[in-house]
Structure 1
Amino acid sequence: MTAPGYDATFLDVPVPLPAADRVVRELTYVHFTVLLDPARRLAVATGVNIDGAALRDLDRSDGWRLDLRVDAGEQAGADVYADNDLDRGHLVRRSDPVWGAEAEQAECDTFVYPNAAPQAGLFNQSRELWLGLEDHVLAYADTYDARVSVFTAPVLAAEDPPYRGVGIPRLFWKVAAWVARPAPDAEPVLATTGYVLDQTPQLDDIDLETERARLAGEPPPLGPFRIFQVPVADIAALTGLDLGPLAAADRLPAAASVGTRERWVELGALSEIRM
């Protein structure tokens, strides 16, 4: 399984993959790359190139599998998701890299376990909002250029509750990047927006509930998804990743970029995104 993976030159300005200050396995697929943290058995970052003008509508292949290029013990495989309510949450969405001549292989590539992370099984309005963010950004970016690069992964925090040898992430992050052209003859300008999904349960006794779940062999309780638009700089701080030029290109208004979590904008609909 060899593929060139994420292309840092895909947009009209260079946008490198996030850089991690830890040991990672760089796994390349068709149109995307996963940076796998072998200690946590989950991705610390992913990057995908999306060509909106060449996307194809393909049937879902399913068939989740391990990536044979890394040890099974370095991936959160089928055992993590068996006989519980946890979903295999795609990090790079199934539809994102599915464009061009290699679309079929790209779709199949998204069903490898390094491209998954445990998420609450309950589908709700907030989850649909999370899945729709990239479509919304792509439609907006199409005014200027039909190409988008998206980076996403769980926030791998030390306090994530353990379950079957894997820390279950409470937060997920996403950064969308595209090129804007203010005028036909203007130089291309990088633009980005950042988002965080929070699946932490809204329980006053979260520590007690988590411990009970651990002792009972059950997955930790996960609550309704909440989606926030956040400063890209906050994502860098949360994850410890070097996001290169992404933070400086953030479209969240500068007035909202001071303080701590209070500056996060909770989203109830795609129309509330600040671009």
Structure 2
Amino acid sequence: MSTAEPVPGYDAEFLGASAALPIPVDTRVVRELTYVHFTVLLDPARRLAVATGVNIDGSELRELGRSDDWRPDPRVGAEEQAGADLYLDNDLDRGHLVRRSDPVWGAPAVAEQANSDTFVYPNAAPQAAQFNQSKQLWLGLEDYVLTHADTYDTRLSVFTAPVLAADDPQYRGVGIPRSFWKVAAWAAAPGQGEDLLLMATGYVLDQTPQLDDVDLSDGGAVPAAGPPPLGPYRTYQVPIGDIAALTGLDLGPLVAADRFTAPAPVGVGSRDRWVRLDALTGVQL
């Protein structure tokens, strides 16, 4: 669907099967910031996004140049969003949460605005430079799932954010996330004439080993309480229910829509059922 005017925000009904933007299950305050084809839920206390959601129409995607014109969102105060100072003179990258290319579809003016909108600081999270530039597997997940979904439909909704843990190491007033999560959702008709059925898959990526290479001494960083039990540069396909537990978010129907058949857990809360991905062909769809 092309429009002459930008469409604000994430659309929960975009797939034809409802998939609401994940929200915190607790009482924490969040700022809902809408952009063209995506929404960011900003945690002002952490100055980072707690969740993002983007609608992708694969049949109308456009290729546009990258601007790297990062800027704050004027709708929230500077004290509520991690800005340029966090990334100055260090090895931290501004990592896109909503991938730059994902909302860039539709009429030319709409796609241009969406492209620009992805370069606001609420849509960024600090990542070790090596992590951000080397994770082709992580960056390619949307494309891989979209290609699969194209068998039925060309639309995809993707949710991404850092895992905001209470013991994240502090740097310049911002807790540096150790890991990130992503859920990709699409819809398909199980049979001719039947209603569309929501389908989804979930992933976690860890950057703890790369944080060891970032100088966090500036600003009185607090040492991490110990790395999570994940190795370097590892992407995992995980049960979406585990993402809900890890993040404290209500993922609604996405949990029941999970296409991943996880191994039996060894214990309660065990990550043994997380399956490491070494190639996109290992993704269960």
Same fold (TM over 0.5): yes
- Deviating more after overlay: 60-69 vs 119-128: 119-128
The residue type equivalent to 1:79 in the other structure is: D
Instruction: Report the CA distance between 1:256 and its aligned residue.
Output: 4.8
Correspondence 1:267 to 2:271: no
Instruction: Report the CA distance between 1:147 and its aligned residue.
Output: 0.2
Distance 2:208 2:44 in 1: 24
Cross-structure match for 2:97? 91
Distance 1:30 1:256 in 2: 41
* Partner SS state of residue 57, structure 1: coil
Instruction: Report the CA distance between 1:226 and its aligned residue.
Output: 1.3
Cross-structure match for 1:194? 202
The residue type equivalent to 1:6 in the other structure is: Y
* Partner SS state of residue 9, structure 1: coil
One of 198, 203, 214 as aligned partner of 2:217? 214
Distance 1:200 1:229 in 2: 18
Aligned Cα root-mean-square deviation (Å): 2.5
- The change in CA–CA distance for 1:219 and 1:83 in structure 2 (over 3 A counts) is farther
Distance 2:264 2:194 in 1: 27
Cross-structure match for 1:122? 130
Cross-structure match for 1:79? 85
Cross-structure match for 1:50? 56
Distance 2:74 2:125 in 1: 18
One of 138, 142, 147 as aligned partner of 2:150? 142
- Deviating more after overlay: 51-60 vs 116-125: 116-125
- The change in CA–CA distance for 1:233 and 1:104 in structure 2 (over 3 A counts) is same
Cross-structure match for 2:3? none
Whether the 8 Å contact between 2:62 and 2:104 is mirrored in structure 1 is yes
Distance 2:119 2:223 in 1: 24
* Partner SS state of residue 262, structure 1: coil
TM-score (norm 2): 0.88
- Deviating more after overlay: 96-105 vs 258-267: 258-267
Cross-structure match for 2:259? 251
The residue type equivalent to 1:174 in the other structure is: K
Deviations 1:141-175 (A, max 9, x none): 00001000000000000010000000000010000
Cross-structure match for 1:9? 13
Cross-structure match for 1:100? 106
Distance 2:256 2:171 in 1: 37
Instruction: Report the CA distance between 1:213 and its aligned residue.
Output: 4.0
Whether the 8 Å contact between 1:84 and 1:219 is mirrored in structure 2 is no
Instruction: Report the CA distance between 1:187 and its aligned residue.
Output: 2.4
Deviations 1:164-197 (A, max 9, x none): 0000000100000000223333321110000001
- Deviating more after overlay: 256-265 vs 36-45: 256-265
Distance 1:86 1:254 in 2: 33
Correspondence 1:238 to 2:242: no
Whether the 8 Å contact between 1:194 and 1:250 is mirrored in structure 2 is yes
- Aligned positions, number: 269
Distance 1:269 1:61 in 2: 30
* Partner SS state of residue 130, structure 2: coil
Deviations 1:12-33 (A, max 9, x none): 1111111112100000000000
1:58-73 residue pairs with structure 2 within 5 A?
58-73=64-79
- The change in CA–CA distance for 1:220 and 1:80 in structure 2 (over 3 A counts) is farther
- Deviating more after overlay: 8-17 vs 68-77: 8-17
Any unmatched runs of 5+ in structure 2? 1-5
